[in-house]
Amino acid sequence: MIPIASGDGFSGWHALNDTVMGGRSQGSCRIGPGGLVFEGTVIEAGGGFISCRSPLFSPPLDLSACLGLELELVGEGRRFKLAVACADGLAGLTNLIPGGLRWVFEFATEATGSSVIRIPFADLRPSVRAKPVGLPLRFDPSRITRLQVLHSRFADDGGPNTGFRAGEIHLELHAIRGFV
């Protein structure tokens, strides 16, 4: 395992909510005794997402020795998405896409207690603003620039998220690790 963040290692993570596109969801991040605590209210109309994301990794994380990411979290039985941003290896072309290209994977959490989720890099799918990208792109684990955990009304295939629940939300992100 390669530790990425745990405990107060989540310093600098911040909320990014649907208000960036006219929505009304509100959320905030803080460091708690077990790691990152993300709390807020998700409002479906006008956007329907709430998220916490890392600061930019500079230089980018090189996880090329890993098979994927492992998240340890408390998620109240909701379905979340992990979104991974990478430094552009296509001469900056993906930086021209509004909202940016992200590599996403949707996952469910346990209704009570902690969940440990393993996300193989091979299962990440390219997406722009919750819509799958049909181009033949390849994920590069040696150039990770940001991580984000979202609760969105949209699934990773662009359809409805069957585990979406509007209203109060409480997420605890205890650790993120690269697994080998």
Average pLDDT, the chain: 87
How many domains, in total, are found in the chain?
1
Cα–Cα distance for residue pair 163/75, rounded to 1 Å: 11
SS3 content of the chain, % helix, strand, coil (to 5): 10, 50, 45
144-168 pLDDT per residue, tens: 999 999 988 888 777 888 888 888 9
Burial of 50 (0-12, 13-18, 19+ CB in 10 A): buried
Band of the pLDDT at 90, cuts 50, 70, 90?
A: low
Domain that holds residue 165: 2-179
Q: Write the CATH number for 93.
A: 2.60.120.430
